Each structure stands twice: as C-alpha cells, then as structure tokens.
Amino acid sequence: MIINLAGFNIDKNLIDKLPEGTIATPETISAAYARISRDPRDVPDLRAEAREQVKKARRSNKAIVFGMSHHSVAEHAYFNFDILKISRLALEELEARRIGCAYTEKSQRYITLQGDFVLPAEFNDKDRKRFKDLIRLQNNFYLQNLKKLTDFQFASHPKLAEQALNSAKKGTSDKMNRAKNTLEGWAKEDARYALSLATEAQLGLSFNARTLEHAIRIMRYSRLTECREMAQKLFAVTKDVAPSLIILTDPAEFRKAFKSDLQDDNFKFTRSQLRKYVTSLLETNIGEFTVKLPEILQKDHEKLIRSSDIDLNITAAVIHSNSRISIETAFKLAAVILSDKNSSRKFFAEILQYITAYDSLPREFELSGNLIYELVVSASNFAQLKRHRLLTLLAQDYDTELGITVPASIAAIGIQDKLEEICHYSVDLYNEFLPRYDKAAEYCLTNAHRRRVLISANPRELYHFSRLREDAHAQWDIKKTAGNMLELARKAAPLSFSLSGGKDQFQNIRKL
C-alpha cells in the first residue's frame, strides 16, 4: 500500500516550493475561521495572523476543537491523498465515511485490469500459495472471457457497434470512440464479477480533518491488517502537518493536552463484543420465538419493513448487523429481549458500554425510523439549529402571530417593555412591507421573532444534538429546545435514549 499526501487545500508540490522555514498547514485556516465568531477583525487579517503564528494557531485549535467541542472547525482543513495498491475489500472500509469526504477510484468498468492483487498479511505461506492459485483462476476467467463478452455486446447492440466502426474509420482514437468504449465497458463490468476482493485499486481521496481523525480511529482497530496499516499511514503523513486537528488519534498528545487518557474503547471493543454477544443471544433464545412480527412486504430478495417502535427497530438492527440471520429472525429475537425489563436494559447497556462523551452512537441507531418534531423557535435559536446538517429541517416563514422570545436577563433588568416596543414597531413595518415585498419584509424582524420548524431526525443524530445543545456551554434558548426535544424522545424510546444528555453531564448519566 502506498499513501501519499497529495496536498492540503492546495497541491503538495506547490507547498514544497514555499520559502525555507515556512510552516505550511491547513491548521491556520481552521484557527482563523474559528476566531470569526469572537474577533471583530476581517477574515483575511485573521488568516494572516494565523499563518504568522502557527504555534498559537495550534494551541487555539486544541482549545476550540477539543476543549470546547467545536469539532466543525476542523472541517475547514482538507487533506488530499493518493492511495495505491489497496484491495477492493479494504476500500469498502475506507469509504464507509460519508460526510466531509470525496473518493474517485480507478474503475473496473472502464479500465482493463491486468491481474494485480493484494496478498493479505494474515495468510501463512502455505495459504498464500493456495490463495494465489485461486486468484490466478479468477483472473484467467476475466482475461480469457473479456473478448467473448465484448463480442457479445457488439453483436447484441448492432447500432452502437456500427457507430463504433464508423468512428474508427474516420480516424477517431480508441480513447475518444464513445460507442466502442460503451460496448467494451459493458463487457468489462460483467467480466469483473469473477474477480477477487483482493484485486488492487487506487484512488484519489479527500478528507477534512474531522473525518480523517474518525477514519484513523476506527480503522486502527479494524479486523483487517491492511486497514490497520492504512490507519497508521494516514496518521504518519499528516501528524506533523496538522497535529492540533487530529489529536484524538494520538494518545500521547491527548494526554499532554488534556491531562487525561484517550478513551478508545468504543473503537477497540464495541463491534467485537457485539458480535460475541449477539451470537450468545442466538444460542440461548433460538427456540423462544413466539412473537408477532412487524409488517414485512417482500418481492424477490427485497423486503420492506414497517415498524414504528424505535427501541425494537434498533435492537433488531444490532442483532441483524452482528450476525448472519434474516431480518424476520432478528425482529423475533429483539421482541423476546424487549419483553423483559432486565434483558432489555442489559441489551442496551451492552451496546453502549464503551461509548464516551466524544463518540457517536453505532450506525444501527439510524435505522430505527425518525422522530418528527414541530418546534416554535426564535430567529436566534434557528441560527444555531440550522447548523445541524443531518437533520431534515423544514422551516416556515417567520410568523409574527407567534410572538417573541424574551431573554430572562432582559426581563430581569427591567427592559422587556423596551424590547417589546422595538418588536412591535418591527412588526408594524413588516406588515406594511409584506404585501409589497413578500419574503423581503422579514428583514424588518428581529432575532426575537419566531417561526415554526418541522424536524425529522434519527436517534444517532439526536444524540449528537443532545451532546452539544444540552451541554452547560450551550446557549440558553436552544438548550431549552434541546432539553424538551430529548425529554420527549426519552418518553418515546427510553432504552435507546438512555445515554442522551450534554457532554458535561455524561459521567453522571452513565452512572444512572
């Protein structure tokens, strides 16, 4: 495997030409942008200061990204990687990241493969030989049948074949002959079905720093040696470039910065423990399935599951993804587990035992179905709410009939009447402008004015929202909204939301 750092926001070859002594790092972008919220200077000035004072920028990042949990600041820093000699199997794990990333692969559809493959480090010498024999058979099928499949495509699509022939007669190169490439591509994409997941791939990869950090942490404990090696190489080529943004990948640096040990148990143990736990549940309960299933519709291999029970859905999803049983069997076992208070609590305690305040919930929490809320929020509240990009958020226009949100401090110092007077005047002007200017009339309104918002979110995203917005550092308006939302969520699915709450209260919540 080869991993080259191709650049960070600009090409690495250009970075290497900077004057000697220049510290080139995307950390300065993150540090400068992080200061926008509290520093009145113009953004170019903030960037200039960050470039000139890299050590200060790095200290700032550590404090803001990790100390204050504003991880989104790390998303401004992007890294570009050339990755070569990686297997298709390892590629699946690498590309499991969905946010803050971009991938462009060498395609098995468009490029004729030559039999290159990755030899797994896990295999002993004897098995490597047997594995090579298998690869040879697979590759021979591909190479020996590719022409036959190509001829078949030409014969099956005579009009396209004729276009390919005419283009060739006119002197069009093979590379530019679109009809020919289409027919050959169809053949290649069918021939590739015989190829091993060990087949070599290469790709251009871009991660922002937050996604990079998560990828390194999770792949460091992969079941594949290849992915563990990949995690180490990604860390090695970026640790000196942007140490302040990937600190959660470095136990020594984390301890130095925060005087506590980095907790990686979620990444290290959760998946392996769940596989063992689900296996034991299946062995113990396999004969006890006498429960009603949710409605399941099926056509061929495709099934549609209809269930609105959040705790049941998450339990079934965990069982399904950590076993090889059907979804029907998973739901049956889930229902057995949830029928008893002790077993249900034990199950969710097992799922969440390694979760820390810094960790996301397992992906299974996305498969429960969404919770749908209607909120009435101030403009100030909405300004923060809209930053949660994985929520489905549908906002109405501002509605002056909904009144205003008055901060307790304004009421406490006796100036609520003045705020209300300003808001009344704002509404008068808004009402006058609305028939003439439609949406633009909202410019007259204040941060105190309100609107209705419809939100849909799965439990995994709601946990993230809860950690950030129920925390002691959260602004009071959105904190109140978050508290009410999660109280309702806990009533709807008490097991699934048993660890929800702000980061500052996490240890206390854990003890309950």
Q: What is the pLDDT of residues 392-450, one digit of tens each?
A: 888 888 999 999 999 998 999 999 999 999 999 999 999 999 999 988 899 889 989 99
Q: Which range, of 34-43, 88-97, 213-222, averages the lowest pLDDT?
A: 34-43
Beta bridge partners of 377: 451
Tell me: pLDDT of 65 over 70. no
Tell me: pLDDT of 254 over 80. no
CATH architecture of the domain 2-83+202-258 equals 2-Layer Sandwich (3.30)
- CA atoms of 133 and 311, how far apart (whole Å): 48
Q: What is the pLDDT of residues 479-501, one digit of tens each?
A: 999 999 999 999 989 999 999 99
- CA atoms of 84 and 101, how far apart (whole Å): 18
Instruction: Please check whether residue 61 is in contact with residue 245, taking contact to mean a CB–CB distance below 8 angstroms.
Output: yes
Tell me: pLDDT of 7 over 60. no
Q: CB-based burial of residue 53 (10 Å sphere; 0-12 exposed, 13-18 middle, 19+ buried)?
A: middle
Domains 2-83+202-258 and 370-511 share a fold: yes
Q: Which helix (H) or strand (E) holds 392?
A: strand 392-398
Query: Mapping DSSP to helix (H, G, I), strand (E, B) and coil, where does residue 489 land?
Result: helix
- For the segment 22-31, the average pLDDT, to the nearest whole number, is 73
- CA atoms of 313 and 305, how far apart (whole Å): 10
- For the segment 247-269, the average pLDDT, to the nearest whole number, is 79
Per-residue confidence band for 284, with pLDDT thresholds at 50, 70 and 90: confident
Retrieve residue 70's tokens.
């504003």
| Domain locations along the chain | 2-83+202-258, 109-198, 265-365, 370-511
Residues 479/480/482/488 CA torsion (nearest 10 deg)? 160
Per-residue confidence band for 251, with pLDDT thresholds at 50, 70 and 90: confident
Query: Mapping DSSP to helix (H, G, I), strand (E, B) and coil, where does residue 7 land?
Result: strand
Per-residue confidence band for 69, with pLDDT thresholds at 50, 70 and 90: low
- DSSP string covering 50-75, please? HHH-HHHHHHHHIIIIIIS--GGGGG
Assigned CATH class of 370-511:
alpha beta
Q: What is the pLDDT of residues 160-202, one digit of tens each?
A: 999 999 999 999 998 889 899 999 988 998 888 888 889 998 8
Q: What is the pLDDT of residues 375-384, one digit of tens each?
A: 999 998 998 8
**High-pLDDT (> 90) share of the chain, %:** 43
Q: What is the pLDDT of residues 446-476, one digit of tens each?
A: 989 999 998 889 999 999 999 999 998 889 9
Tell me: pLDDT of 155 over 90. yes
Q: What is the pLDDT of residues 93-131, one digit of tens each?
A: 999 888 888 887 887 777 788 889 999 999 999 999 999
Beta pairing, strands 392-398 & 450-457: antiparallel
Q: Which residue has the tokens 């929520």?
A: 391
